[in-house]
Amino acid sequence: MRRSFVLSAGVSIAAMIPGHAQAGQEDARKPCAQEARLPTPDDKTGKRFDDLVPDRAIELCRRALEAHPDDAATMANLGRALSKAGDGKASLGLIERAAAAGNLQAVNTLASMYETGNGVPKDAARAFALAKLGEKGRNAWLLGRLADYYLNGTGTPVNVDAALATYARAADVGHEGAANAMADHYRFGSKGVPKDYALARKWYERAMALGHADAVAALAYMTDTGLGAAADPIEARKLYKLASDRGSGWGAENLGWMFQIGRGGPKDPAEAARYMRLAVDRGQASAMRRLGHFYRDGIGLERDIQMAIAWYRKAADEDDDDAMIELGDLAANGKGMPRDEAASRDWYRKAAEAGNARGMRKLAYDLASSEFTGVPSDNPAALKWYHKLGETDDPEDAAFAADALAEGKAVPPDLKAARKYYEKALAGGVEDSGRPLVETILRDNPGDAERAYALRILTEHAGKGAGWALAALAHPGPMIEAAGLRIDSAPWRAKIATLTDPKVLTDVAKALQAGKLAKQQFGLAVQYARAASDPSVAKEYQLKLMLDLRLQEAALRELARYAEGDEFKALPEGRRTALLAQFDTPYAFNFNGDESYIPLFEALAKLGMREAAAKYAWRLLDDGAGDPTAALKWFEIAAERGSADAQRAIGYLHLKGFGVEKSAVKAVRAWEEAYRRGETSAAMSLALYYKGDLEFSDAERAGAPQIDRAQAFEWMQRAASFSYANAVVLARMYLAGDGTKANPKEAIRLLRWAVHCGDYSARVALGETYLHGSGVAKDPEMALRWFKHAAGTGWSGGALAMVRASALGWGMKADAKQARYWLAEAIRRGSDDAKKWQAACGAQATIKCLIKIEGFTPIPIGPETEGLAAEPAFEAREAVLRKDLDTAVDNGSEFAVFEGFRSLEEHYLLYGKMDQYLATKVRSLAIKEAALTNRFGSRDNYFALIESSCHWSSAAKEAGGGGRREAALFFAKVAVNKLQDARKRISDLDPSIRECFIRVHQDRYRYLAGIFMEMGRFGEAEHVLAMLKDFESYNYTRDKRREGEAFDQMPLDAKQTQSIAAFDAATAALAQAGAARDRLVALQRQGTLTAEQQQELAAATTALGAAQTAFRGELGDLANVVAGLDAAMTPDQEAKADRVAAIQPRLISTVRRLGKDVAALHAVVLPDSIHWLITTANYQKSVVVPIDITAMRKDIGLYRQAISDKAVFITDPASKLYKSVFEPVDKALRAAGIRQVMLSLDDALRYLPMAALHD
């Protein structure tokens, strides 16, 4: 009662005092406005919506409204507060009353509600009518809204002029956002506003004057990129600093980027990280992602992959779709987390559905190519995403979609759609689209009009100085010749001869290197590049060419030589650093260099290259036999330069105690740091540590983490992304429930994936699953098939599995003879376990002795899984795989086709059905050849030949493993002949490059030579050796004219030659028929197929079917020939075959001239043996010496070191090497009365001082 009385008295008293009532009323409205009013440029009183505190504002505004029930401003403010509190019904009534009373704040709010349908029926016309009420007023927000409605056509026809005028009016009354929006529209040319950089800069400056912080950042961006004025990175950096100081998160982010790369001033990674953190604190989601990059790459911060993931997740939570892609990439690659293909696809999908073009690209590719990852492929969905990408407004996206549809690798080819998207990209300013557009036109069976169109594009681009077009017109390549374009090349060659521009000449060289529109000529490409005005650009191209040719060693030797010269030293420091950085990559150093490479690695390491420093350190270490102290120094240098591999190596040193204390805690810390830096292989070391598989004593474990199987499992999950062998270990943990809950289904998926990708250990593991029924139905016979499949590869682990199977009766009756055979074979292949078993039981090991050896009988891979259905029978599984393959061939992408073939081939190999395997392999090889033609323009292209050789070589090894020696020889001959053709393509390059080619591809020559020698076909073996030892073999014959030019091919007999010709013809016919149908199917998919074209499609489908029938028939004939190569022959037939196939030995006649006591001795080192080919004056013979190549290399290194150190006792290692490497050959030479030997050594034997061997 007292309170009511006082209030009443107060009101009454106030009413009686002149002027006091009005002052009190104003006092009540003022706190309401301070808490709930929408601030305007004219009056800053109020709160932004995000800062408004509803409860406080509602209480104050209700008091004000009680005192002034008809005050429109108070109604509007209370309505705004109630809206923030979520009381839409009460809010609407107040806002409508305030708007009716003429309050423009309420009018603005009500217009927004009708525009969006928030609390009222959506009504764009009413929203526009309300906004129009503010046209003559000074409410900046209502004017800005009206301008947006004019521009977007909200409730009114689009009126760009009215929109611009209204934005200008809003800016005049202080609306900084309106000025910034004007600038944005002029900058981007959006919403029908003509693009005008000068006006954009003017309005950004106006917005900047009004206080818009992001306008300063936008002006900085235009200044940096040269939009509307000359680029000025220094001034841009100042503007970004001003924007950041004014509170712009975007400004702080871009300033951090400039500090990161050293743009507009010195590079400062620490400042870059500081400003990036400032941008993050201001809520800039893209800065969160960039901060993740900083942690991932160690920019101004310690490299930490886990912190990178945390910031990517924060950015993704803020809807940064680029961060989603980063998380997708990490999940797909198992970086910092277990590999998770499903999670990866989900992240890509989120980004794609948010409109991110990169997300669309990633998702489309993932949908098309995820075979055996556990996440099914979805080719139709992939195709839809590629088309969606092609239809975006960005011409770069159209070009990317065109690439996918033209290649036909991820999705079926569609040249019509590819052409459409390339044309869109070219029209949008993507000049790089001109070249693939011409290629697509020429591939699509062009008529006269299309040929003229292609020639016009070529001529126009050449006129603009496009190197690829100049090269095509000056040196027409296979695609132009096949399409029948007629070009007068002389003027274009003359034009190129006058050029000096480095970029143009480099592009000319690249086109000649690619060999599609221009003829492939590597020597001429280098010659053109050398004409550039900047010699360093020419050298850079030459080095990159060597890397593209996969001749890393030659590239690095040339780089080291160039770095020693005056030309390199005269370059500016920044240019020298940038040039070296381009070759300081794991790919460039991806080759195994022996001790002879130490000077090369040292020279490059001293130039500051981190990968070279790491390689140099590994060579110095020599697995503890070298100089561990020096190795540690260089590992630390490499790690400081950013090498994660070197950081991992430091952990290895602490594991082994090489030059440092043996310490588990230091090893673990080093591996954890390596993993944080992105070295996935460090995860395997950590997994093995937590499993307890690494040798540390209790004292050496002091302070280190305890053994933890759960931790081991987590690290193994991460390690599985690094190699298929690690995936097999992870599968074993899943099966055994080791550190995790047992998951047989995931284990089997991992094993099948690893098998499919060529991991031999997965075959043994799958055999064990069938043996014990873990994850699959128990089937000992199937287990034995997998063990034999693994043993057929030449892998020692497969032979070990067969020793156990033979001794323990796995899927077969126990057989001591078989056990001894496979034991000897495992030893020949270098197995340490087999050597121990033989040492325990002798060469005539008994089963009783073997099974007593500790560890010989392994524990089951996992418990038996109940209730699983038996494996389908051979025929049932074959039918399913054949159907899948035929569907893929008819409709699928290249990926799907090859996956289908691989699955069927594995099925036949597993069951030992070699005839069916060979028939399928021949067909798959033919389709791969056709795909190579599409991709490279010709099967004679260098890069096509290298890939093709790989395919045929793989077939050779599989045929050999299946016991088809002659078929293996046939495939291997074709593989080597492909390599020989590739050698011809680089015949105009420096001899050092050609010699490097042989070293890179020597294993295929060795494999073929080894088979020939085992079969006693020495003439053919010598022919291969002449190719392999190109630069030394001809020294025997003194035929210097052919040194380094052994381009001969391995001869095929008449039937094989005829079959290969049929193979080529069938492949070409199938490709042609398929292309004709593909063109029409593409039109059908687009819904533009005419009735006449529908008839053509039916005819083309019939033609394709006929071509496929003929294709299968001709290839079937070839497959029959190949399968028949190993048919039993009579001794007379064998002798005749040898005489026909053999090549007249070249060396016998040479050796004969030198005397009866002279012999030539060739060595061919294979992983498990040395094949010595002895050529005397009268005959040739082969001596095979089983070896462990790793042990031999190590022994030779130790022996050389002992001689270098002048050790007193060197007879023991000299005798050991003599007995293990040379004694059987020496006996054969002595028996033949040989006193003088000409040596052609191989591999590490080249570094063995033969004269110092001790017999």
Instruction: Look up residue 453 and give its two tokens.
Output: 């169109």
pLDDT number for residue 1106 = 54
The reply to whether 78 falls in a domain is: no
Domain of residue 610 covers: 598-722
CATH code of the domain containing 812: 1.25.40.10
Chain centroid to CA 1216: how far?
45
pLDDT tens, residue by residue, 1026-1075: 777 665 544 444 444 444 455 577 777 666 676 667 666 656 655 555 55
Question: What's the average model confidence in pLDDT over 217-237?
Answer: 94
The reply to whether 466 falls in a domain is: yes
The reply to whether 437 falls in a domain is: no
Q: Classify residue 47 by its DSSP letter.
A: -
Per-chain mean pLDDT for the chain: 85
Shared domain for 940 and 1027, answered yes or no, is: yes
Shared domain for 529 and 539, answered yes or no, is: no
The reply to whether 1160 falls in a domain is: yes
Q: How far apart are CA 731 and CA 744, in angstroms?
A: 8
Shared domain for 496 and 563, answered yes or no, is: no
pLDDT number for residue 1221 = 86
Instruction: Look up residue 759 and give its two tokens.
Output: 């991991």
pLDDT number for residue 1095 = 66
Rg (CA), the chain: 38
Whether the pLDDT of residue 804 is over 60: the answer is: yes
Question: What's the average model confidence in pLDDT over 162-169?
Answer: 93
- Look at the chain and report how many structural domains it folds into: 6
Q: Classify residue 1221 by its DSSP letter.
A: I
Q: How far apart are CA 1105 and CA 1102, in angstroms?
A: 5
The reply to whether 277 falls in a domain is: no
pLDDT tens, residue by residue, 1006-1031: 777 777 777 667 777 777 777 776 65
The reply to whether 367 falls in a domain is: no
Higher pLDDT, 114 or 1023: 114
pLDDT tens, residue by residue, 170-189: 999 999 999 999 999 999 98
Shared domain for 686 and 627, answered yes or no, is: yes
Q: How far apart are CA 135 and CA 143, in angstroms?
A: 6
Phi, psi of 376 (to 5 degrees): -60, 150
3-state secondary structure of 1163: strand
Residue whose structure tokens are 């002048």: 1206
Q: How many CB atoms are located within 10 Å of the residue 346 CB?
A: 17
Confidence tier at 1126 by pLDDT (50, 70, 90): low
Q: Classify residue 50 by its DSSP letter.
A: G
Confidence tier at 1132 by pLDDT (50, 70, 90): very low
Question: What's the average model confidence in pLDDT over 108-129?
Answer: 90
3-state secondary structure of 759: coil
Question: What's the average model confidence in pLDDT over 130-152?
Answer: 90
pTM, whole model, 2 decimals?
0.74
pLDDT number for residue 718 = 87
pLDDT number for residue 1037 = 44
The reply to whether 222 falls in a domain is: no
Higher pLDDT, 1204 or 262: 262
Shared domain for 696 and 844, answered yes or no, is: no
pLDDT tens, residue by residue, 668-697: 999 998 988 888 889 999 999 999 999 999
Shared domain for 664 and 704, answered yes or no, is: yes
pLDDT tens, residue by residue, 1182-1228: 888 888 777 787 788 777 777 776 655 677 788 888 888 888 888 88
Shared domain for 610 and 587, answered yes or no, is: no
Look at residues 343, 352, 386 and name the one whose alpha carbon lies nearest to residue 368. 386
Beta bridge partners of 3: none
Whether the pLDDT of residue 207 is over 60: the answer is: yes
Whether the pLDDT of residue 21 is over 70: the answer is: no
Whether the pLDDT of residue 839 is over 90: the answer is: yes
Beta strands in 1069-1179 (DSSP E): 1158-1166, 1169-1175
Shared domain for 1083 and 1158, answered yes or no, is: no
Shared domain for 755 and 853, answered yes or no, is: yes
> Which of 544, 566, 591 is the endpoint of a domain?
591
Confidence tier at 296 by pLDDT (50, 70, 90): confident
> Which of 572, 591, 610 is the endpoint of a domain?
591
Shared domain for 975 and 1123, answered yes or no, is: yes
Question: What's the average model confidence in pLDDT over 655-676?
Answer: 94
Higher pLDDT, 544 or 1129: 544
Shared domain for 1166 and 1045, answered yes or no, is: no
Instruction: Look up residue 718 and give its two tokens.
Output: 């991460």
Higher pLDDT, 157 or 304: 157
Question: How many CA atoms does the CB half-sphere of 22 hold within 13 Å?
Answer: 2
pLDDT number for residue 916 = 87
pLDDT tens, residue by residue, 486-528: 999 999 999 999 999 999 999 999 999 999 999 999 999 999 9
Q: How far apart are CA 1248 and CA 193, in angstroms?
A: 78
In terms of phi and psi (left: phi > 0; alpha: psi -120 to 50; beta: otherwise), the region of 193 is beta
Shared domain for 1127 and 1195, answered yes or no, is: no
pLDDT number for residue 1236 = 85
Structural contact between residues 276 and 289, judged by C-beta atoms closer than 8 angstroms: no
Structural contact between residues 238 and 265, judged by C-beta atoms closer than 8 angstroms: no
Beta bridge partners of 87: none
The reply to whether 279 falls in a domain is: no
Whether the pLDDT of residue 13 is over 50: the answer is: no
> Which of 871, 904, 929 is the endpoint of a domain?
871
Phi, psi of 1143 (to 5 degrees): -105, 140
At CA 793, angle to CA 332 and CA 1221, rounded to 5?
Answer: 120
Question: What's the average model confidence in pLDDT over 286-300?
Answer: 92
